[in-house]
Amino acid sequence: MDAVALVEKWREVVNSPYLRDLPFKLELNEDGKVEFAMSPATNRHSLFQGRLQALLLRCLPNGVQMPECSILTSKGVKVADVVWASEAFFARYRDATPYPKAPDLCIEVASPSNTADELAKKTRLYLEAGAVEAWIVREDGTVELYGPEGQRTQSVLGVRVTPLELS
C-alpha cells in the first residue's frame, strides 16, 4: 500500500467509532492491516512515559513533547510512546495524523511482551523516517540511544540521559 493510501486508512481507523475506546494502541502494517501494538498497559510503563515527558520538557523546552504519536514509516503507521519535535517540525506538521515524517526524537518504552527484535525494528523505522535519535527505555529504566549510525553513548540533542527511576 502506498503512503497516501496508508494515511487515508489511518484516518479511517482514527475516526472509527468502533475503535475509539479500545484499551490498547493500534498500528497499521505496510499492507494497511490493523495490528494491536501494545500489551495491557502497566503503571510502570505509564510512569516512565510521564518521566520522559517531564525530562524532555525540562531539557528541550524549545519544542513539543507528546505521548502516543502516530508516524508513517516504510512498514506502515507506528505509534511511538513519547516523541519530541522541534519547533520547526511542529510548525510544519502540527496536526497531521499520522505525521508523514518522524519527529526529531522517538522513544519506545519496553513492555513485558515486547521482544528485542520488535523494539529494534521500530527504532530503525523511526530513524529511516527521519528521526534524529530514537531511544528504547528498558523495563529496569535503562535508556539506550540510537542514531542512523547505530547505538550512541550520549544524545546529540543535548539531553543528559540517566536511568529512569520509579521513586
pLDDT tens sequence across 34-76: 766 655 567 888 889 999 999 999 999 999 999 999 999 999 9
Is 67 inside a domain boundary? yes
In this structure, what CATH number is given to the domain that contains residue 65? 3.90.1570.10
Look up the pTM and report it: 0.85
Written as nine digits, the cell of 129 is 523516517
Is 163 inside a domain boundary? no
Is 16 inside a domain boundary? no
Contact 59, 105 (CB under 8 A): no
Is 7 inside a domain boundary? no
pLDDT band, very low/low/confident/very high, at 25 (cuts 50, 70, 90): low
Domains held by the chain: number: 1
pLDDT tens sequence across 66-122: 999 999 999 999 999 999 999 999 999 999 999 999 999 999 999 888 889 999 999
